[in-house]
Amino acid sequence: MKHRHLIAAGIAAALLGVSACGSSNDAPTGNNQAASQPKEITIWLMNGSAPDSVVQAVNKEFTAKHPGTTPKIEIQQWDGIQEKTTTALAGNTPPDVLEIGSTLVSKFADSGGLADLTGKKSDLGGDSWLKGLTEAGTLDGKIYGVPYYGGVRAVIYRTDMFTKAGISSPPTDLASFTAMLDKLQKKFGADPKFSALYFPGQYWYAALPFVWDAGGELAVQDGGQWKGALDSPQAQAGLSTLKDLVTKYSKAPVNGNENDNDPATPMGEGKAGVIIDNGWKVGVITKAHPELKGKVAVFALPGKSPGTTAPVFLGGSNLAISEGSKAPDLAYDWLKIMAGTTAQTQLATDGGVIPNSTNLLNLHAKDPILSVFDAAAKNSRSTPATPKWANVESGTILQDMLVAIFSGKSSVADATKTASEAITKTLNS
Amino acid sequence: MDVLDTGQPDVDSALATTTVGAPLGGAPTGPARRHRRRAGHLLPYWLLLPSVVVLVGLLAYPLFSLVTTSFRRLDLRQLIRRQTIWVGTANYRAILRDHEFWVVTLRTIVFAMVCVAATLLAGTLVALLMRRLGRGMRLLVSVGMLLAWATPTVSAATVFKWLFDEQYGVVNWLVTELTPLDWSAHSWFDSKWPAFFVLGLCVVWQAIPFVALTLYAGLTSIPEEIYEAATIDGAGAWRQFWAVTRPLLRPIFLILISLSLIWDLKVFSQLYVITRGGPSRSTLLLNLYTYNLGFGVSRFGVAAAAAVIMVVITFIATAFYIRTMIRVGEEAL
Amino acid sequence: MTAMRRPKRRKRGAVAANIAAVLVFLFFAFPVYWMASTAFKPAAQIRTFNIKLFPTALTLDHFRDAFRTANFWTFLRNSLIVSLSTTVLSVLVALLAATALARFRFRGRRTYLIMILVVQMVPLEALVIPMYLVLRDADLLNVLPVLVATYMAFVLPFTIWTLRGFVATLPVDLEEAAMVDGASRLGAFWRITFPLMAPGLVATGVFAFIQAWNEFILALTLMEQQNQTLPVWLGTFKTATGVDWGGLMAGSTIFAIPVVAFFLVVQGRMTSGLAAGAVKG
């Protein structure tokens, strides 16, 4: 869906691409003697991450600089990506450049599959990178994953429903957020399928802001050892708050996840008052329900204290160069163009994602929706930067905890204790 | 006479007669004996050679590699850096000491047995039903089963998960519309048994066609006269099945049970798509447990040890049937 | 009295059987119907609270989009090449092995039989890494014929077993008679026995085809993109922005069509082949 309007913006993009080529006149780096240049470098990008227009512009700039080399783009699917990345990095011909989901970078870096790019940080303009993505791409102080793009969640709502419920302005703190949910519930609650807040039980990305805003952490590092911290009083308080909201206002499946029970669907059908989701969901909603165009709006998830917003999870991807790349210099040049200002600007405008640099966060200033997400990105965080974190995700520890809490099968105290122990065990195994 | 046999009725009925007679008698016919005299000949080995090359090269050798891997520490780091670290039996000890492994093993065996029983029971009923149907209805049933069989497993699992979805699922909607019950917020996946039900249903749904069609084809090979004689002797439907059908189709049942058991003990795709072991790991089965150790947390040595143990368990679980099958096979020659 | 009652009872039985048949058909066909009908529904009618058994509007958008996805035709070509090669080669190789097992008694026969049963117990998922290591060391990753060979390794145990039972049911006398008439052993086999084997070959062929057609994890990990197959392509409909249900169901339908077609064409021969194969244990 996202693809579609990205492709629609193709012509403008092509123009931008031309200007991008014109603007780059860096001298070729030392190792690029034409004779020994490989004919091809392979780049892996994830399905739906960068619009074709951006990729083509980057390739064009790259081939202008290295006429003998063709950048071969392979779009990888999310299904089985860990398996694919694992075997590819262990193989004889790994891809030269690859996009890796931000929370997986440290896992692959730790295993020796990715090239150390620490020395290139200033060359890449690393001082202005988004903090969350930089942390995700860093392991033991070394940089392996260059921030590519980010995505954060905010509260999405329908203006027509807010008007009907008599809500005039977005809430500014958690208390007024709850009051707003009450109003929505009162107005539309006659429908048994209506959720003032639609929150599938396993949706841990959207649960993290509540933990962080209350001062809790997922895990803390203590003398080289990691320790699960969800059983701290702060984290428990945050999760209790969320539990109250979910049990009172959400009819979403407690055991559901945000893919199978996509919050965009009930929003489009008027069965959800608000949802917590990514910026592109606005387009998903209006595509299925064209009559809602212009009626979908967003605000940042408010924090506990008045006037603050809750820290949100910064998802997204990093770009890395494989340790086994046969042409690391060429790979670096491609990566540098993609991570550079021109491509990032285009990525933000064409793709609607959050660019990798804080300097570019004003690009959507005039867009009432995307500007909210850009602002939220400034107060964003990532998961603990340890190679073992990926195992916490694949072990569905957080999902199990949330389901246990929301279903009432365990108390917040018990569920967080179980989860914390599991996290401690996983991170130190 | 038979919609399923339109291809070549003559050969089929000829075969059918042979089929029934042979395995039960078990006595070698003349030609077979003649071949046996040439047993010293190298021909059978030449005939086996191509299959042996493929099986050894691409199955036995990786299997050997699986066993050696199970004695190595092979995490992501060792895999990528190509290091070989031998750890003796540490991986096996880790697995055998894991309480969850035993729980999962037991659960897997029970799950497989229930699925096999359900598949065989339903398959037999469908096969018996098909025998009583007219040509058109029989075609309808077989086309329905072929559709189920031909659907890619992953797609089938995705659809099943959807049909039983709490909000978008047809099942809850039908129950709410057609019965006094309000299941509009009924969850099939928030506890172990309903989740297992959906999982098992998906597995059985796709396993029945093979079983039912095989049994039906076997049934058509039993001459109608035997049943007529049984009816005259006053045997009811159940008695006819037990005294006539069951013994005649025993070899078919044997192979169907063994293969189904082997297949259901390693159920993976449906589990991965529908519950992924949840809620709270309560539907985790052995193959996914092993897989999680491998690609989930990248401890491939431990995963290999788990896989080896799993094969041993499968072997023990199916040993009885395999022995019987081989014996029947030997007798027939 | 009895003579009067019987036909009536039989008639009632037939009605019950027909009703049961319809229910059985619905049970098997409904999920497939749901998949295929979803593929034709407009996006707003998919995954909705407002469930309808029959679509009220039809669209071909999802199919059009599916055909236009990147590399679809490459994936399709690879899938066809791999599945058909696996099918033909497996059946040929299995036929040879089955003949040896069914017609000869020789040293190692029993061991071989047990082996082909035991290797089926190994879960494919657990063999990915070992297989990967073997192929990596032999520098055979990303070679399409190697994928065919791996699939053969996985389908051969079943095909050999089934064909063995089938060959054993064929009368040897005809073959022998032809040999007496001066035909060579191979000639006799080719002209007499082979045509009789069609159902068995078809049954095992279908099995091999389905296995190869559906396989995902080996195609994903052992091959690079230009050599990957349709199951990998199905992932196209799950993006970072969510699942495209219409596309996924259209893709699944497109993916299922060749197998359904294959099934329907050969169904008569296949079922009798299955039974004969199984009867011989």
Per-residue pLDDT of chain A (429 residues), as tens digits, is 344 344 334 333 333 333 333 333 343 444 444 446 788 999 999 988 888 999 999 999 999 999 999 999 999 998 889 999 999 999 989 999 999 999 999 999 999 999 999 999 999 999 999 988 999 999 989 999 999 999 999 999 999 999 999 999 999 999 999 999 999 999 999 998 899 999 999 999 999 999 999 999 999 988 889 999 999 999 999 999 999 999 999 999 998 889 889 999 999 999 999 999 998 899 889 988 999 999 999 999 999 999 899 999 999 999 999 999 999 999 999 999 999 999 999 999 888 889 999 999 888 888 889 999 988 988 889 899 889 999 999 889 999 999 999 999 999 999 999 999 999 999 998
Q: What is the pLDDT of residue C242?
A: 79
* Structure token digits, residue B103: 């729980």
When mean pLDDT is compared across A28-37, B79-88, C85-94, C112-121, the lowest value belongs to A28-37
Render B27-93 in DSSP notation, one character per residue: PPPHHHHHHHHTTT-SHHHHHHHHHHHHHIIIIIHHHHHHHHHTTEE-BHHHHHHT--EE-TTHHHH
Sequence-distant (≥ 6) Cβ neighbours of residue A148 within 8 angstroms: A49, A99, A133, A316, A317, A318, A319, A338, A339, A356
pLDDT at C212 over 90: yes
Asked if A193's CB is within 8 angstroms of C49's CB, the reply is: yes
* B268 vs B114: CA distance, rounded Å: 16
- In the 8-state DSSP scheme, what is residue A357? B
Taking residues B169-178, what's their average pLDDT? Answer: 93
Q: What is the mean pLDDT of chain B?
A: 84
Q: Rounded distance, CA C148 to CA C82, Å?
A: 6
Q: What is the DSSP letter of A300?
A: P
Instruction: State mean pLDDT over B88-106.
Output: 95
Cα separation, C108 vs C89, in Å, equals 24
Distance CA C281, CA C273 (A): 13
Taking residue B51's Cβ as centre, other Cβ atoms within 10 Å add up to 27
Q: Chains that contact B by 3+ CB pairs under 8 Å?
A: A, C
Structure token pair of residue B46: 């030449």
B22 band by pLDDT with thresholds 50, 70 and 90:
very low
Which own/partner contact pairs does C36-40 have at CB distance under 8 Å and 24+ positions apart?
C36/C249, C36/C253, C38/C245, C38/C246, C38/C249, C39/C63, C39/C246, C39/C249, C39/C250, C39/C252, C39/C253
Where residue B28 falls among pLDDT bands split at 50, 70, 90? very low
B165: phi then psi, degrees, rounded to nearest 5: -65, 145
- Specify the pLDDT at position C274: 65
Closest among B94, B202, B195, B138 to B5, alpha carbons compared: B138
Structure tokens of A245?
Answer: 């909201």
Contact B51/A at CB under 8 A: no
Contacts of A78 in chain C (CB under 8 A): 235, 238-240
Binary contact (B81, A112; C-beta < 8 A): yes
Q: What is the mean pLDDT of residues B254-270?
A: 91
Could you say which DSSP state residue B299 is in?
B
Show residues of chain B in contact with C27, CB under 8 Å: 144, 205
Confidence of residue B261 (pLDDT cuts 50, 70, 90): very high
Residues 162-191 on B with a CB inside 8 Å of C are: 162-163, 167-168, 170, 173
Percent of chain C clearing pLDDT 90 (strictly above): 44
| Burial (Cβ within 10 Å: 0-12, 13-18, ≥19) of residue C34 | middle
Contact C49 A266 (CB under 8 A): yes
Residues 294-313 in A contacting C (C-alpha not used; CB under 8 Å): none
Task: With a cut of 70, say whether residue C143 has pLDDT above it.
Answer: yes
Average pLDDT over residues C181-201: 77
Distance to chain C for A261, nearest Cα, Å = 9
Q: Check if B278 contacts A (Cβ < 8 Å).
A: yes
Picking from A266-270, A293-297, B13-17, B73-77, which range would have the lowest pLDDT averaged per residue? B13-17
C8: pLDDT confidence band, cut at 50, 70 and 90? low
Query: A-side interface with B, Cβ within 8 Å?
Result: 82-83, 86, 89-90, 107-108, 110-113, 192-193, 251-256, 260-261, 265, 323, 391, 394-396, 399-400, 403-404, 407, 426, 429
Containing A153, the helix (H) or strand (E) segment is strand A153-158
Contact A90 B79 (CB under 8 A): yes
In chain A the first and final C-alpha atoms are separated, in Å, by: 41
- The pLDDT of residue C7 is 60
Residue B11 has pLDDT above 70, yes or no: no
pTM: 0.87
CB A51 within 8 A of CB A377: no
Provide mean pLDDT across the span C24-34. Answer: 96
Contact (CB<8Å) C112/B48: yes
Q: Which band of pLDDT confidence, cut at 50, 70 and 90, is reported for residue B129?
A: very high
pLDDT attached to residue A385: 83
pLDDT tier, B330 (very low <50, low <70, confident <90, very high otherwise) = low
Mean pLDDT of B51-72: 92
Mean pLDDT, residues C197-226: 89
Rounded to whole angstroms, the Cα distance separating B127 from B132 reads 9
Mean pLDDT (whole number) for C139-152: 93
Enumerate the residues of chain A whose CB falls inside 8 A of the CB of residue C47: 262, 265
- The set of residues, in sequence order, having a beta carbon less than 8 Å from that of A280 and lying 6+ positions away, is A1, A2, A151, A352, A353, C241
Measure the CA–CA gap between A356 and A127, rounded to whole angstroms: 11
Checking if the pLDDT of C6 tops 60, the result is no
Extract the runs of DSSP E, i.e. beta strands, from A289-429: 296-299, 312-313, 315-321, 354-355, 380-381
- Residue C201's H or E segment, with its range, is helix C198-214
Residues with Cβ within 8 Å of residue A98, at least 6 apart in sequence: A43, A44, A85, A88, A319, A320, A321, A322
Cβ of C43 and A281 within 8 Å? no
